[in-house]
Amino acid sequence: MNKNEPKSMQSQKPISYVFTRTRRSSCGGSTSATAPSRRSLSRLSWVSGRRAGRGRSGFVAGALVALLAITGCSGRPSYDLIIRGGRVLDGSGNPWYYADIGVRGDRIAAVGDLSTARAARIVDAGGLYVAPGFVDVHTHVGSGLDTPDRSAGQPLLAQGITTVLVNPDGGGPVDLAQQRRDLLEDGLGVNVGMQIGHNVIRSRVIGSEDRDPTPAELDSMKLLVRAGMEEGAFGLSSAPFYSPGSFSKTEEIVALAAVAAEFGGTHQSHVRDESDYTIGLLDAVEEVITVSRETGVRGIVTHIKALGPHVWGYSEAVVERIKAARAEGLEIFADQYPYEASSTGLSAALLPRWAQAGGPRALRARLDDPEIMARIRSAMVKNLDRRGGAGRIQFRRFEPDSTIEGRTLQMVADDMGLRAVDAAVALFKKGSPSIVSFNMNEDDIRTFMRQTWTMTASDGSLPRMNVGVPHPRAYGTFPRKIRKYAVEEGVIDLPFAIRSMTSLPVTVFRIPDRGSIRPGAFADLVVFDLNRLRDTAIYSAPHQLAEGMVHVLVNGRFAIRDGAFTGDLAGRVLSRR
């Protein structure tokens, strides 16, 4: 490794370089064969963001120093990297345009005509699209990125994802300082932003009890939210659908979201009901709006959907409620994954929440009580109907018996000679199965996707390759949205899709200097072949990487180069501070 090589290029695995033709200059460096032009020098003022010739002599002298630092002795701009001739989708939602992109260190230094500029490396992006790195605002990858074998995040990078938000659905650790250390221990392939979860905080303070917090307990919960925000969390995540968050009232969420709002944070919510389990989908969305109205926090209806046949077609009503809230002046957004199936635990899908109060031991005792079990079973029958029946539930992971993974609840029940709900109870007594549940309608998916306030998110995990039968969204969310819904079906156009993955999420979460292609932004960039971009993961065989990413840069360093992973771990733990 050349000790004089730019720092951003050091510690990278050997890769092939592409250079322009060079000749030796009088000062010992290399310059392009094309002679420096007045046009290239005048363009320097655009690159640096200042007009040449303005100010006093001190400014002129400083500008000359900057000029020499940028151009070297050749008098022409130089960069660590130039991505040349690509179709640039800058994240704004505007149509693509041709431009070169100059990268210096971890930042974009210039965008425009850099045909006469010098660079240590030049990438020919002719015929390819260049976009900001994608931002996944709802992921469960924190528990994978903090392990040595998955810290590179290859399934994420293959989709073009360069930044993720972790700890959604009220989950994750309470101690974000420790999570930061764990994530950085083995290096990171992508950037990570943290949230602080309501459910884990409630569990820490009052356990799994079905009751309101005392004033002292609520104060303790607020202090934990404050500690998380001070540690750099981008906001509060909640999930009143899941136990123990389901035992909270709106007032409790308001109190905690108000703390996040003090820091300019967000409230991302897995709403209390995506179907008609309890309060109904529409009232659940209204709850998120109420929290924002009372606190001023930016509200996000996460993985927005109308779950199950009972509420198919409700998307229009949900959209109207969010539009009305926005017309009122409330910052309400949503995120969505482009699949007709969701993924959760079988217990969350079928069990009534009152049966889960007190935790797993209390649940097992209730399952063994014939009188209580009769009530539980009655509720499970109704909840299974809400999901569309046992044939729509596919097992994703069940460690006590991996043979059921990839099979439906109906198949397993038939093999056991039991009714579906009784088969589910038998499984609950052995463990906690996770499932993929086919319960969304394509018309609703399209309606939500068309909204200008809907971001893209995977809700995906970071599974070990070939372990279990996970939801394919972990491997294919972002290419699938582009391929299926933009290119093939035209539900949205390509610039709209890219905006939902880049500038919109960084705007909502206030992530500085990412999600756009402009001078000064971090060089998180993707270069992809639209003809080849696609998801390959399917429900029956999900462990397949997406295709079509030619180059992926994270903080100015190649994570994928010429379609191959470099192994460079350039990701960072980001902070709202």
Tokens 């007709």 correspond to 340
Q: Which CATH architecture has domain 134-340+440-565?
A: Alpha-Beta Barrel (3.20)
**Boundaries of CATH 3.20.20.140 in the chain?**
134-340+440-565
Chain centroid to CA 9: 26
E-strand stretches of 494-561: 525-528, 549-554, 557-561
453: three-class secondary structure by DSSP:
coil
pLDDT number for residue 577: 77
CA atoms of 354 and 194, how far apart (whole Å): 30
Give the burial class of 538: count Cβ atoms within 10 A of its Cβ; 0-12 exposed, 13-18 middle, 19 or more buried: exposed
Residues 6+ apart with CB under 8 A from 286: 321
**pLDDT recorded at residue 13:** 35
pTM for this structure?
0.87
Three-state DSSP class for residue 433: coil
Q: What is the DSSP string of 401-419?
A: -GGGTTSBHHHHHHHHTS-
In the prediction, which pLDDT does 74 show? 57
Q: Which of 173, 33, 156, 48 is nearest to 102 (CA)?
A: 48
- In terms of C-beta density within 10 A (0-12 exposed, 13-18 middle, 19 or more buried), how is residue 186 classed? middle
Q: What DSSP element (H or E) covers 223?
A: helix 215-230
Residue 3: partners with Cβ closer than 8 Å, 6 or more residues away: none
Q: Distance between CA 347 and CA 424 in Å, rounded?
A: 9
Look at residues 495, 489, 497 and name the one whose alpha carbon lies nearest to residue 336. 497
CB 354 within 8 A of CB 383: no
Report the amino acid identity of residue 198: H
Q: What is the pLDDT along the chain (577 residues), one digit of tens a residue?
A: 443 333 333 333 333 323 333 333 334 333 333 333 333 333 333 333 333 333 434 434 444 434 444 555 556 779 999 999 999 999 999 999 999 999 999 999 999 999 999 999 999 999 999 999 999 999 999 999 999 999 999 999 999 999 999 999 999 999 999 999 999 999 999 999 999 999 999 999 999 999 999 999 999 999 999 999 999 999 999 999 999 999 999 999 999 999 999 999 999 999 999 999 999 999 999 999 999 999 999 999 999 999 999 999 999 999 999 999 999 999 999 999 999 999 999 999 999 999 999 999 999 999 999 999 999 999 999 999 999 999 999 999 999 999 999 999 999 999 999 999 999 999 999 999 999 999 999 999 999 999 999 999 999 999 999 999 999 999 999 999 999 999 999 999 999 999 999 999 999 999 999 999 999 999 999 999 999 999 999 999 999 999 999 999 999 999 999 999 999 999 999 998 7
Binning the chain into helix, strand and coil, the percentages to the nearest 5 are 40, 20, 40
3-state secondary structure of 344: strand
Three-class secondary structure of residue 252 per DSSP: helix
pLDDT of 72 reads 53
Quick one: pLDDT at residue 576?
87
- 376 Cβ contact list (under 8 Å, min separation 6): 351, 352, 355, 366, 367, 425
